[in-house]
Structure 1
Amino acid sequence: MTPGRAIRTARQIFTAAALYGVIVLLPMYFAEPMMARAGRPVTHPELLYGFVGLALALQLVYWTIGRDPLRFRPLMPIAVLAKWSFGIPVAILFAAGRVDAATFTLSSIDLAISILFLVAWRITRTA
């Protein structure tokens, strides 16, 4: 892969991940009443809003990496760890029967994105 193509690919991966994350996370700020109506009240709202806020902040990190993948390449492994910090625990919880299939599916998307982040990290190594 040419260096220019590697940089474009990394830009696309991180920018798409950031956009996806914002689309998925932003509605969670407004989900508490719906969760209560569904019989799943939020007993610790600070955890919900803290999670959403931190996750949205990470989308800005992904966006920043996507703007200049070579300059911010050292952040790419950290981005992978961020995706794993949600995807792996949810997979374990799903295997233990503690989360539903929808939650597992969403966390699997994060694991897939982490693989793309690793690809971006690898292809920009020589760029």
Structure 2
Amino acid sequence: MSKPARKNVLPMQQDSEKKHPVPTDRTAPAKAKKRLNFRNLFLLAFMTWAAYVFFFVQSPDIDRLNQDQAQLNSEIKLMQETNQELQKKIEQLNDPDYIAEIARKKYLMVKEGETLFLPPKQ
């Protein structure tokens, strides 16, 4: 009652040759060569497009943005200087002596006991 041996079993070498047969005709390398040429053409087209975008589209934008940035930096410096001047003015306006000086000069106000002398109009 023994089973007959399997007839379709091959040794390892023969089995691998059946799975990956070696091409006998020369058409397979030609297909690979055509595919390689298509890849090269696609790669060349992509690189050309990338160079166009960089040099003719983004480069002028980058130059314009650099000029805008330089202009904005100069405006920031000007605003910082103005801010410092205004901070000094705020500090002066919090000083009672400075407020009294402005009141005397601008509004011709006097303290009690002082006499106001005005130059004659010509």
TM-score, scaled to structure 2: 0.23
**RCO higher in structure (CA 8 A, sep ≥6):** 1
Higher helix share: 1
Give 1 or 2 for the bigger CA radius of gyration.
2
TM-score, scaled to structure 1: 0.22
